[in-house]
């Protein structure tokens, strides 16, 4: 046996315990022995060094920084369960809270635990991803009878799941636009992208979960077993338990993608076409449907078409926006090379009834991985220019179909003046593909739009690209929606008071409260969402 690593880890453990005693003494009574057993049983460890604590206080939003007093790096589910059980057993005399931290791509400190414990989910190792190939290759079937699936850790990145499942010719069905996010992080919200119109969000494509609740219990759940916990956790903003394992539904993977962009200057024609494409009659026309808004008052079109080939290069080069607001419909059709003739015919057929500006048809062919991982390419470019780690005052909204025109007129016409410091996404989804029993809140209409105003604050704080200006625009948008009762709901929501949360959840608030009292009665979990405050009672 090599004694050196053993001694090293023993020393780290010993130092950790000393630190725990000095830093937790005001609230943590018997941590010394418990931390030893935690390490011995599960293999994970706590970090207390300044760098770890500082990192745990960072996120993609880059606006909120609250340090925890410890970071737990779990190696097994029992590390997480033991940590939470200790905090639970300390009862309401302790201030300690616990936040799961996925890839920390939250926008407003949602994965932070001020003076609490952050659990670094990416260090959770399950013994490999377990794949079930299934007998049912009918990918469009909503019956989960024997669909293929993969069991993954809650701390796994979606990009890794993609690569692993592709080795077996399979792929998850529903995605986010960016894949360097964890399973637990996106399932705690919803996970929405251009496939959601057909398959629903990612939370509609999960068959089973393993959860550590706010009392430290490890529970398996699905629609049929512990269904209340299953539905609570999906879209539950981390409030009811930590997702340690998820069973994700798969379908056969294509190898190639036809990726298409066309422009509209007429918002009505744009949304009419988007809605036509997600309707049940045309549901198979494309595999991915999104869109974005281009506002550029100077008339200079930026790189909306970079890397794309125009159908008619001469006409395309002459196309100018003339300062108009434009709407870009973005489509993708998956295929395998042997089916190319059929796919070309299908694409042509479906493009033929759309009403875009003819000279603006841009088309390219890329591999399936290149398509799904497309935002990572932008990330690398932005990183090389130092523009990735800037503040991101993003605003994501679900807007009911009946009010999307009013919304667009004011927001794209009057409030937003430029979209050059980040994309403005807009695309419709079908509510019937969302399970109303989950915790996520959506508008009360069969079709609603995701509008993502994804600005980066790059300039000095008060300039047009600065944080104050962008936050001001966001406030005006929210106030406008509120004043005019547009029935808009925030996605990746952020509020400051419980009254606002109550209004956000509307009729779902009572059941949200009830679920909280059952699964996390002391309000230990995900304090960074600022929905509940741990009740402290020193008596
Ligand atoms: P974190 O930020 O680490 O955590 C988010 C919340 O979930 C926190 O409250 C945390 O405590 C909780 N949590 C984390 N892990 C677990 C777990 N295992 N169990 C329980 N709770 C947990 N969203 C979309 O829907 N569609 C998109 O297309 C999309 N694109 C994005 C692109 C970029 C560049 C970025 C930065 C974000 C995007 N998002 C998108 C938003 C993203 O889905 C959420 O911010 C998500 O929470 C990030 O995942 P994460 O792993 O970084 O989670």
Query: Are both 50 and 112 inside the same structural domain?
Result: yes
Query: Are both 11 and 154 inside the same structural domain?
Result: no
Query: Are both 89 and 201 inside the same structural domain?
Result: no
Mean pLDDT, the chain, rounded, equals: 89
**What pLDDT does residue 32 have?**
39
Q: Taking 80 as the threshold, does the pLDDT of residue 25 lie above it?
A: no
Confidence of residue 119 (pLDDT cuts 50, 70, 90): very high
> What is the pairing mode between strands 362-367 and 241-252?
unpaired
Q: What angle do CA 122, 517, 514 make, to 5 degrees?
A: 110
Lowest mean pLDDT among 21-35, 52-66, 151-165: 21-35
Span from the CA of 237 to the centroid of ligand 1 (angstroms): 9
Query: Are both 460 and 321 inside the same structural domain?
Result: yes
Domain that holds residue 524: 3-124+518-529
Span from the CA of 310 to the centroid of ligand 1 (angstroms): 35
Show which residues are catalytic: 105, 177, 290
Question: Does residue 513 sit within a domain?
Answer: no
Mean pLDDT, rounded, for 478-482: 98
Q: How far apart are CA 419 and CA 402, in angstroms?
A: 24
**What pLDDT does residue 137 have?**
46
- DSSP 8-state secondary structure symbol assigned to residue 418: B
Number of the ligand 1 atom closest to the C-alpha atom of 60: 36
Span from the CA of 185 to the centroid of ligand 1 (angstroms): 4
Question: Does residue 111 sit within a domain?
Answer: yes
220, 214 in Cβ contact below 8 A? no
Instruction: Give residues with Cβ within 8 angstroms of 450, minimum separation 6.
Output: 192, 196, 396, 397, 398, 425, 426, 427, 428, 429, 491
Q: Taking 50 as the threshold, does the pLDDT of residue 158 lie above it?
A: yes
Number of the ligand 1 atom closest to the C-alpha atom of 191: 25
282, 331 in Cβ contact below 8 A? no
Query: Are both 272 and 398 inside the same structural domain?
Result: yes
Query: Are both 188 and 269 inside the same structural domain?
Result: no
> What is the pairing mode between strands 149-153 and 241-252?
antiparallel
Question: Does residue 320 sit within a domain?
Answer: yes
Q: Exposed/middle/buried for 153, CB within 10 Å: 0-12, 13-18, 19+? A: buried
- If one counts every other C-beta atom within 10 angstroms of the C-beta of residue 339, the result is 13
Residue % of the chain over a pLDDT of 70: 88
Span from the CA of 470 to the centroid of ligand 1 (angstroms): 22
Number of the ligand 1 atom closest to the C-alpha atom of 157: 51
Number of the ligand 1 atom closest to the C-alpha atom of 193: 28
Query: Are both 139 and 82 inside the same structural domain?
Result: no
Give backbone dihedrals phi and psi of 272, rounded to 5 degrees, phi first.
-60, -45
Atom 25, ligand 1: residue with shortest CA distance:
191
Span from the CA of 19 to the centroid of ligand 1 (angstroms): 31
**What pLDDT does residue 535 have?**
80
Q: Taking 80 as the threshold, does the pLDDT of residue 286 lie above it?
A: yes
Q: What is the pLDDT of residues 298-314, one digit of tens each?
A: 655 656 666 787 877 77
Mean pLDDT, rounded, for 505-517: 97
- If one counts every other C-beta atom within 10 angstroms of the C-beta of residue 159, the result is 16
Query: Are both 216 and 268 inside the same structural domain?
Result: no
Query: Are both 148 and 295 inside the same structural domain?
Result: no
Residues in contact with ligand 1 by the CB-under-6-Å rule are 59-60, 99-106, 110-111, 121, 154, 176-178, 181-182, 184-186, 188-193, 237-238, 242-243, 375, 492, 526, 528-529
Query: Are both 166 and 313 inside the same structural domain?
Result: no
Lowest mean pLDDT among 17-26, 186-195, 274-283, 375-384: 17-26
**What pLDDT does residue 114 have?**
97
Q: What is the pLDDT of residues 410-460, one digit of tens each?
A: 999 999 988 778 999 999 999 999 999 999 999 999 999 999 999 999 977
Mean pLDDT, rounded, for 279-286: 91
Span from the CA of 4 to the centroid of ligand 1 (angstroms): 39
Q: Which of 180, 175, 178 is nearest to 201 (CA)?
A: 175
146, 134 in Cβ contact below 8 A? yes
In this predicted model, which residue has the larger pLDDT, 11 or 112?
Answer: 112
CATH number for position 193: 3.30.465.10
- Report in angstroms the alpha-carbon separations of 170 from 158, 397, 443: 14, 32, 33
Token look-up 């919304």 returns 407
Question: Does residue 504 sit within a domain?
Answer: no
Query: Are both 247 and 260 inside the same structural domain?
Result: no
Residue % of the chain over a pLDDT of 90: 78
Confidence of residue 135 (pLDDT cuts 50, 70, 90): low
Q: How far apart are CA 203 and CA 47, in angstroms?
A: 32
Instruction: Give residues with Cβ within 8 angstroms of 514, minimum separation 6.
Output: none
Number of the ligand 1 atom closest to the C-alpha atom of 211: 19
Question: Does residue 535 sit within a domain?
Answer: no
**Alpha-carbon Rg for the chain in angstroms:** 24
Instruction: Give residues with Cβ within 8 angstroms of 154, minimum separation 6.
Output: 100, 102, 121, 124, 182, 183, 184, 187, 210, 242, 243, 244, 245, 246
**What pLDDT does residue 6 have?**
33
CATH number for position 101: 3.30.43.10
Atom 37, ligand 1: residue with shortest CA distance:
105
Atom 16, ligand 1: residue with shortest CA distance:
184
Span from the CA of 373 to the centroid of ligand 1 (angstroms): 16
Give backbone dihedrals phi and psi of 252, rounded to 5 degrees, phi first.
-60, 140
Q: Which of 72, 176, 429 to mutate to test the pocket of ligand 1 (most atoms within 8 A of CB)?
A: 176
Query: Are both 112 and 47 inside the same structural domain?
Result: yes
Question: Does residue 498 sit within a domain?
Answer: no
H or E element that contains 177? none
- DSSP 8-state secondary structure symbol assigned to residue 485: T
- Report in angstroms the alpha-carbon separations of 356 from 333, 351, 448: 18, 9, 22
What pTM, to 2 d.p., does this model score?
0.92
Q: How far apart are CA 442 and CA 487, in angstroms?
A: 9
Distance of CA 538 to the CA centre of its chain: 38
- If one counts every other C-beta atom within 10 angstroms of the C-beta of residue 117, the result is 22
Atom 7, ligand 1: residue with shortest CA distance:
185
- Report in angstroms the alpha-carbon separations of 411 from 208, 271, 300, 467, 495: 40, 16, 21, 18, 21
- How many domains would you assign to the chain? 3
Span from the CA of 454 to the centroid of ligand 1 (angstroms): 15
What 3-state DSSP class applies to 303?
coil
**What pLDDT does residue 59 have?**
98
Q: Which of 111, 232, 440, 449 to mutate to test the pocket of ligand 1 (most atoms within 8 A of CB)?
A: 111
Q: Which of 118, 185, 391, 441 to mutate to test the pocket of ligand 1 (most atoms within 8 A of CB)?
A: 185
The terminus-to-terminus CA distance of the chain in angstroms comes to: 51
413, 295 in Cβ contact below 8 A? no
> What is the pairing mode between strands 70-73 and 117-120?
parallel
> What is the pairing mode between strands 98-101 and 117-120?
parallel
Question: Does residue 538 sit within a domain?
Answer: no
Dihedral sign, Cα of residue 24, residue 517, residue 506, residue 405: positive
Q: Which of 100, 210, 288 to mutate to test the pocket of ligand 1 (most atoms within 8 A of CB)?
A: 100
Lowest mean pLDDT among 12-16, 142-146, 160-164, 293-297: 12-16
Q: Taking 50 as the threshold, does the pLDDT of residue 19 lie above it?
A: no
Question: Does residue 497 sit within a domain?
Answer: no
């Amino acid at each position: 046996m090599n004694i050196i690593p053993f001694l090293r880890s023993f020393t780290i453990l010993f130092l950790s315990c000393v630190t725990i005693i000095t830093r937790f003494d005001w609230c943590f009574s018997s941590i010394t022995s418990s931390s030893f057993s935690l390490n011995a049983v599960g293999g994970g460890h706590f970090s207390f060094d300044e760098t770890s604590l500082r990192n745990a206080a960072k996120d993609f939003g880059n606006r909120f920084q609250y340090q925890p007093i410890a970071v737990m790096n779990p190696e097994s589910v029992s590390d997480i369960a033991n940590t939470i059980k200790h905090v639970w057993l300390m009862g309401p005399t302790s201030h300690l809270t616990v936040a799961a931290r996925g890839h920390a791509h939250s926008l407003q400190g949602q994965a932070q635990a001020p003076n609490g414990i952050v659990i670094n989910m990416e260090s959770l190792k399950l013994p490999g991803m377990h794949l079930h190939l299934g007998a049912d290759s009918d990918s469009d079937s909503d019956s989960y009878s024997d669909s293929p699936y993969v069991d993954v850790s809650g701390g796994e990145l979606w990009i890794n799941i993609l690569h692993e499942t592709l080795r077996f010719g399979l792929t998850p069905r529903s995605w986010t636009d960016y894949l360097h996010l964890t399973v637990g992080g996106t399932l705690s919200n919803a996970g929405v992208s251009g496939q959601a119109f057909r398959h629903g969000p990612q939370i509609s494509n999960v068959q089973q979960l393993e959860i550590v609740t706010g009392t430290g219990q490890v529970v398996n759940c699905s629609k049929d077993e512990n269904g209340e916990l299953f539905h609570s956790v999906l879209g539950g903003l981390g409030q009811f338990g930590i997702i340690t394992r998820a069973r994700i539904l798969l379908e056969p993977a294509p190898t190639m993608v036809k990726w298409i962009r066309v422009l509209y200057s007429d918002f009505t024609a744009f949304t009419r076409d988007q809605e036509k494409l997600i309707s049940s009659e045309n549901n198979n026309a494309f595999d991915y449907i999104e869109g974005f808004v281009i506002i550029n008052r100077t008339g200079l079109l930026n790189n909306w078409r970079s890397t794309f080939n125009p159908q008619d290069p001469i006409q395309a080069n002459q196309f100018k926006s003339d300062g108009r607001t434009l709407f870009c419909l973005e489509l993708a059709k998956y295929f395998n090379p042997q089916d190319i003739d059929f796919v070309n015919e299908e694409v042509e057929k479906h493009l033929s009834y759309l009403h875009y500006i003819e000279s603006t048809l841009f088309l390219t062919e890329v591999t399936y991985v290149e398509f799904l991982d497309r935002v990572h390419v932008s990330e690398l470019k932005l990183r090389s220019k130092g523009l990735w780690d800037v503040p991101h005052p993003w605003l994501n909204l679900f807007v009911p179909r009946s009010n999307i025109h009013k919304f667009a007129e004011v927001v794209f016409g009057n409030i937003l003046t430029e979209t050059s410091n980040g994309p403005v996404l807009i695309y419709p989804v079908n509510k019937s593909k969302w399970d109303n029993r989950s915790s996520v809140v959506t508008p009360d209409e069969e079709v609603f739009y995701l509008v993502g105003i994804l600005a980066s604050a790059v300039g000095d704080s008060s300039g047009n690209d600065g944080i104050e200006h962008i936050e001001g625009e966001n406030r005006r948008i929210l106030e406008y929606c509120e004043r005019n009762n547009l029935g808009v709901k925030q996605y990746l929501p952020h509020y400051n008071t419980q009254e606002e949360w109550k209004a956000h959840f509307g009729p779902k608030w009572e059941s949200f409260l009830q679920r909280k009292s059952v699964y996390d009665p002391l309000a230990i979990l995900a304090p960074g969402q600022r929905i509940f405050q741990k009740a402290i009672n020193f008596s």
